[in-house]
Amino acid sequence: MGTPIVAEQPDYYVKSAEKTLAVLLAFKGENSALTVSQVAAATDQTRASARRFLLTLVDLGYLAVVGNTYQQTPRVLDVGASYLSGLTLPRAAISHLQRLARELDETTSLCVLEGQDILYVERVSAPRLHQMNVSIGNRLPAWVTSMGRVLIANLTAGEREDFLQGIELRSYTEHTVGSLEELRAELERVAEQGWSLVNQELDEGLRGLAVPVRRGNQLLGALNVSVQSGRADASTISETMLPALFRTAKDIAGDFGGRVD
């Protein structure tokens, strides 16, 4: 049920603040996608009242509408971040990114989707490198990156199509995907296989390999390793790097909120 009601509320008590937090806290554990009726039942509200709170949280960016359900967005990490910073996704991921970077001797990154871009929330450079061209907080067009394609591929069919309609295609290299039809087919392939490999589409000589980071049904972000094209052949990518990324993604999700089978 919802947050306990204070028996005698003082004059300053804001009931709507209590209800807002109750709605956000309803999304936990296996309840990562909830309908209006489920939220109403969990928070002791009418469907009309719960719907108003849900739509307000959607407008504020904390929830997203997926079919007939609502799901949390990465923005919920902002709530309490200053106090519970040890539990944020980047904090949960950093040691695993460092381990993966050492294991593969390549740069590793964690990104989330924000608008039409990917947003870097954590990044660890390869041990052999002394600097990085991309920093935490930087953005790149999602459609032309492996992380972005993993995240876009995990949108609903309608959301994915809306996203595609907002893209302005441009040629970054001679390898960049050349049409929406080609990109749409690539996203279908990524959705089916569960990972993405982008070969020199954004930068000449650079490949990006990415997998989703999931906790149950909740997509937390995308995990990536950047590889110079001459450093890894197809067998190394499929037999060594990809399993390492999937293992690391599972470890990050586990540390972020407890183990999920």
The SS3 assignment for 163 reads: helix
> pLDDT of 239-248, one tens digit each?
889 999 999 9
Pairing mode, strands 69-72 and 196-199: unpaired
Q: Are residues 133 and 67 in the same domain?
A: no
Question: What is the spatial distance between Cα 161 and Cα 144, in angstroms, rounded to a whole number?
Answer: 16
Q: Are residues 235 and 211 in the same domain?
A: yes
Q: Are residues 45 and 91 in the same domain?
A: no
CATH (domain of 154): 3.30.450.40
Q: Are residues 91 and 67 in the same domain?
A: no
Q: Are residues 133 and 58 in the same domain?
A: no
pTM, full prediction: 0.65
Domain range for 106 is: 85-256
- Indicate whether 172 belongs to any domain: yes
- Indicate whether 151 belongs to any domain: yes
Q: Are residues 209 and 126 in the same domain?
A: yes
Residue 125: count of CB within 10 angstroms of its CB: 17
* Inter-residue contact 222 to 197 (CB < 8 Å): no
Q: Are residues 107 and 26 in the same domain?
A: no
Please report, in tens digits, the pLDDT of each residue of the chain (261 residues total).
Answer: 444 444 567 888 888 889 999 999 898 766 678 999 999 999 999 999 999 999 999 999 999 999 999 998 878 777 655 544 444 788 889 999 999 999 999 999 999 998 899 999 999 988 766 555 556 778 899 999 999 999 999 999 999 999 999 998 999 999 999 999 999 999 999 999 999 999 999 999 889 999 999 988 889 999 999 888 777 777 788 888 999 999 999 999 988 865 544
* Inter-residue contact 189 to 177 (CB < 8 Å): no
Tell me 216's DSSP state: T
> pLDDT of 38-75, one tens digit each?
999 999 999 999 999 999 999 999 999 999 999 988 78
- Indicate whether 1 belongs to any domain: no
Counting the structural domains of the chain, the total is 2
What's the longest Cα–Cα distance across the chain?
69
Question: What is the spatial distance between Cα 147 and Cα 196, in angstroms, rounded to a whole number?
Answer: 7
- Indicate whether 209 belongs to any domain: yes
- Indicate whether 4 belongs to any domain: no
Question: What is the spatial distance between Cα 216 and Cα 24, in angstroms, rounded to a whole number?
Answer: 18
The residue from 29, 51, 72 where one domain ends is 72
CATH (domain of 26): 1.10.10.10
